[in-house]
Amino acid sequence: MSDLVNALTTLGLRHTAAHLDDVVALATKRRWSITQLLEHLVASEQQERTRRSLERRLLRSRIGRFTPMSDFDWAWPKRLDRAAVEATLRLDFLAGARNVVLVAPQGLGKTMIAQNIAHAAVLAGHHVLFKTAAELLLDLGAQESARGLGRRLNYYATRGLFVIDEIGYLSYDARAADLLFQVVSRRYERRSLVLTTNLPFSEWPTIFPNAATATALIDRVVHHAEIITIEGESYRRRVAEAKQKSARTASSS
Residues 51 and 135 in one domain: no
Check residue 218 and give its pLDDT.
Answer: 93
Whether 224 and 96 have beta carbons less than 8 Å apart is answered as yes
73 with 51, same domain? no
Nearest to 208 by CA among 139, 137, 154, 135: 137
**pLDDT, tens digit, 9 for 90 and up, residues 142-174:** 999 999 999 999 999 999 999 999 999 888 899
120: left (phi over 0), alpha (psi -120 to 50) or beta: alpha
Question: Can you tell me the distance from the alpha carbon of 88 to that of 121, in angstroms, rounded to the nearest whole number?
Answer: 10
Same domain, 50 and 76: no
On whether residue 7 sits in a domain, the answer given is yes
Residues 21 and 125 placed together within one structural domain of the fold = no
Q: Residue 188: what pLDDT? A: 96
Same domain (yes/no): 215, 172: yes
Lowest mean pLDDT among 66-75, 143-152, 234-243: 234-243
Q: Residue 243 domain-assigned?
A: no
Please determine, for residue 246, whether its predicted confidence score (pLDDT) is greater than 70.
no
- Give the chain's length: 253
Statement to judge: residues 85 and 185 lie in one domain: yes
Q: Are residues 108 and 215 in the same domain?
A: yes
> What does the mean pLDDT of the chain come to?
91
pLDDT given at position 199: 94
Range of the domain at 36: 2-55
Do 46 and 137 belong together in one domain?
A: no
User: Is residue 211 in some structural domain?
Assistant: yes
- Co-location of 14 and 138 in the same domain: no
**pTM metric for this prediction:** 0.81
Per-residue pLDDT at 6 exceeds 70? yes
Same domain, yes or no: 207 and 86:
yes
Q: Is residue 246 part of a domain?
A: no
Assign residue 168 a region (left: φ > 0; alpha: ψ between -120 and 50; beta: otherwise): left
Q: What is the DSSP string of 32-77?
A: --HHHHHHHHHHHHHHHHHHHHHHHHHHHHT--S---GGG--TTSS
Q: How many domains does the chain have?
A: 2
